[in-house]
Amino acid sequence: MGAFAIILAVIVLFIVANGVRIITQYERGVVFRLGRVRSHIKGPGLRVIVPVIDQMRKVSLRIVTLPIESQKIITKDNVSIDVAAVAYYQVQDPIKSIVEIENVVSAIYQIAQTTVRNVVGQSSLDDVLSETVAINEKIKAILEAATEKWGIYVSTVEVKDIQLPDNMLRAMAKQAEAE
């Protein structure tokens, strides 16, 4: 009887230990009970879930910097330029960011890349070079509208690198020299 009680106590202790989770200050825990989302989100600290029945996924609430690689874009006036950008976003609703979409980072990257291409492609070269603030705001508005349903807030989008073709740089230099 004594050995059985010890074995039972060890098993119970093992099950309870498997249910203990630590959530850091910048994370929230979304608990699924038998595959269904529990209505409340677990905050930072030591949290206990029911092993086997509950599963917890941690979601970071920190701002994420997402570099958008340089891509060739043809502007409205048929000039081919290379444009790179960076987007900053943050999870506002952890449940939506897990349930509504499979891979938030990949989805935001793909939308950001195509949005940069579309917005810059609809602008003339002169606008791209002189109206970057307006272009950044237009890209941000489109990204916010697309990611809002996933519980994501896009705080900033910046076009950070615009590379002109060499022949265009030479022509601009000659024009500046002539003026």
Spatial separation of the C-alpha atoms in residues 87 and 139, rounded to whole Å:
10
Give me the pLDDT at residue 172, please.
Answer: 63
Give me the pLDDT at residue 79, please.
Answer: 84
Low-confidence ranges of the chain (pLDDT < 50): none
Q: Is the separation of the CB atoms in 161 and 70 below 8 Å?
A: yes
Give me the pLDDT at residue 127, please.
Answer: 85
H helices present in the chain, as ranges: 2-18, 94-99, 104-121, 125-130, 132-147, 166-178
Residues 142, 109, 95, 47, CA torsion sign: negative
Give me the pLDDT at residue 105, please.
Answer: 92
Please choose, from the candidates 132, 139, 137, 89, the residue with its C-alpha nearest in 3D space to the C-alpha of residue 118: 139
pTM for the predicted model, two decimal places: 0.81
Q: Which long-range contacts (CB under 8 A, 24 or more apart) does 20-24 make?
A: 20/46, 20/47, 20/48, 21/46, 21/47, 21/48, 21/49, 21/56, 22/46, 22/47, 23/47, 23/58
Give me the pLDDT at residue 52, please.
Answer: 84
Give me the pLDDT at residue 143, please.
Answer: 95
For 76-114, give one letter per residue: b (16+ CB within 10 A) or e.
eeeeebebbbebebebebbbbbbeebeebeebbbebbbe
* Residue 132 DSSP label: H
Give me the pLDDT at residue 156, please.
Answer: 94
Give me the pLDDT at residue 175, please.
Answer: 67
Give me the pLDDT at residue 78, please.
Answer: 85
Q: Is the separation of the CB atoms in 45 and 71 below 8 Å?
A: no
Give me the pLDDT at residue 44, please.
Answer: 94
Give me the pLDDT at residue 16, please.
Answer: 80
